[in-house]
């Protein structure tokens, strides 16, 4: 998506360019305003309101992001998006994803009616001309993944009621039954031997270079994904250890080894958690994921930011961020597979409360101990 920036100094523009290249994974590029599909306007800049008025007069349908230290009135903002200063990268990425979705929908509309885009005489809720047939922009853009891609990555599992045992079972999967675990085991074994390893089976050939943190795959994700989704395929696989990582079977696609394990975990988990993961214990993020090379699942950056700021339980995270549980569960599964996150159990005994934990009352523990001793004593006489 081509994005023009107005009212920002050279240092700010450079920072934005780095964000486009990093977290946005080159989904956005800087452009001059006449060629831009969307614009970012610093509303604290000199004559920003005049610039905004001129932008809207030139192209009323072009989506905008407005940056501001102070709260902006709804009349001024209209249907556009706002990012408050100081800018949080996570907020900016979310708004850019929404902007990209609006640009895509506008392009779809233009292709559907190439002769002309009819502008109705009706004025929309924000006092701007409404495009006939223009659908409401979906604001649940999945961090530069469209809805279909997000579903392919983490599935469509509905939220569960943690107090219902029948629903609780559906929140878990066994990583040991999936290709994810075979690749992780092969990585650990090859690293210990100081060698590379070839993972052979019905899936496209996978070669791991754990020393350099690389993986080479004989085919695209489209052909690998079905095997990442299927449980109980591991008995069909075998490992061949190799020295010097001499590849004998033509050109293989090279990716980061962590990125491969991350994606295999997302495919296997389908918005679920590894067996025995507690839902009510705070999760601690040990290290920020390298989002520049990892598949960016829906809500990933928001979850990482929250856990970096303050550990939350898995259920509490979904509630705090208003995300589907599957987004939180999938992110935790992938982050845990790379050793980036784990449930943090305090040294102080706790009572589980969904969304938080509270210390256990020592007197309650003593009472239970006394009752236990009484029960055991009674059993002697029965």
- Once rounded to an integer, what is the mean pLDDT over residues 245-251? 50
* Per-residue pLDDT tens digits for 8-26: 888 888 888 888 877 777 7
On average, the pLDDT of the chain sits at 78
Query: Which residues, listed in sequence order, are joined to residue 216 by a DSSP beta bridge?
Result: 207, 254
Helices 325-337 + 300-309 axis angle, to 10: 70
Could you give the residue ranges of the DSSP H alpha helices within the chain? Answer: 10-21, 48-58, 74-77, 89-112, 147-154, 165-169, 179-193, 221-229, 257-269, 300-309, 314-321, 325-337, 362-381
- Residue 95: DSSP 8-state: H
pTM over 0.85: no
For residue 262, pLDDT beyond 90: yes
Say what the pLDDT of residue 146 is.
Answer: 52
Contact in structure between 253 and 216 (CB atoms under 8 Å): yes
In 10 A of CB 251, how many CB atoms? 8
Q: How many whole angstroms separate alpha carbon 328 and alpha carbon 319?
A: 10
Determine the distance from the C-alpha atom of residue 133 to the mean position of all C-alpha atoms in its chain, rounded to a whole number: 31
- The residue to which tokens 């509270």 are assigned: 358
Closest C-alpha among 79, 98, 196 to residue 144: 98
Q: Longest C-alpha distance within the chain, in Å?
A: 93
Asked whether the predicted pLDDT for residue 87 surpasses 70, the reply is yes
Q: Where are the domains of the chain?
A: 2-144, 175-267, 274-359
Separation CA 142–CA 148 (nearest Å)? 9
Chain segment 113-152, per-residue pLDDT in tens: 444 333 333 333 333 333 333 334 333 333 344 566 777 8
- What is the CATH topology of the domain spanning 2-144? Rossmann fold (3.40.50)
- Cα–Cα distance, 326 to 10 (Å, whole number): 40
pLDDT in tens, 334-354: 999 999 998 875 533 333 333
């Amino acid at each position: 998506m081509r994005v023009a920036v107005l009212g920002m100094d050279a240092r700010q523009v450079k920072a934005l360019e780095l964000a486009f290249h990093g977290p946005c994974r080159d989904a956005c590029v800087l452009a001059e305003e006449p060629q831009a599909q969307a614009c970012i306007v610093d509303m604290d800049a000199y004559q920003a309101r005049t610039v905004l008025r001129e932008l809207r007069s030139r192209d009323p349908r072009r989506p905008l992001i407005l940056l501001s230290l102070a709260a902006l009135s709804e009349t001024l903002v209209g249907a556009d998006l706002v990012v408050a200063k100081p800018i949080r990268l996570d907020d900016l990425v979310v708004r850019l994803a929404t902007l990209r979705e609006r640009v895509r929908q506008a392009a779809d509309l233009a292709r559907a009616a190439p002769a002309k885009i009819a502008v109705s005489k009706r004025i929309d809720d924000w006092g701007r001309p409404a495009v006939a047939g223009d659908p409401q922009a979906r604001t649940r853009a999945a961090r530069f993944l469209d809805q279909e891609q997000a579903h392919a990555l983490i599935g469509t599992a509905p939220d569960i009621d943690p107090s219902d045992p029948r629903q609780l079972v559906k929140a878990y999967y066994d990583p040991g039954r999936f290709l994810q675990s075979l690749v992780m085991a092969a990585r650990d074994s090859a690293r210990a031997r100081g060698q590379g390893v070839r993972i052979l089976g019905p899936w496209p050939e996978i070669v791991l270079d754990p020393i350099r943190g690389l993986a080479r795959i004989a085919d695209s994700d489209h052909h690998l994904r079905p095997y990442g989704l299927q449980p109980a395929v591991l008995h069909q696989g075998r490992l061949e250890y190799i020295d010097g990582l001499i590849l004998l079977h033509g050109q293989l696609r090279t990716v980061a080894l962590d990125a491969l394990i991350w994606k295999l975990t997302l495919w296997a988990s389908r918005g679920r958690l590894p067996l025995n993961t507690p839902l009510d214990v705070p999760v601690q993020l040990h290290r920020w994921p390298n989002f520049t090379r990892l598949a960016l699942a829906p809500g990933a950056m928001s979850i990482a930011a929250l856990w970096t700021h303050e550990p939350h339980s898995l259920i509490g995270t979904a509630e705090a961020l208003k995300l589907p549980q599957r987004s939180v569960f999938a992110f935790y599964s992938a982050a845990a597979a790379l050793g980036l996150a784990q449930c943090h159990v305090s040294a102080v005994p706790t009572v589980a409360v969904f969304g938080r934990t509270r210390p256990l009352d020592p007197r309650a523990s003593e009472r239970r101990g006394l009752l236990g001793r009484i029960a055991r004593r009674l059993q002697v006489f029965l």
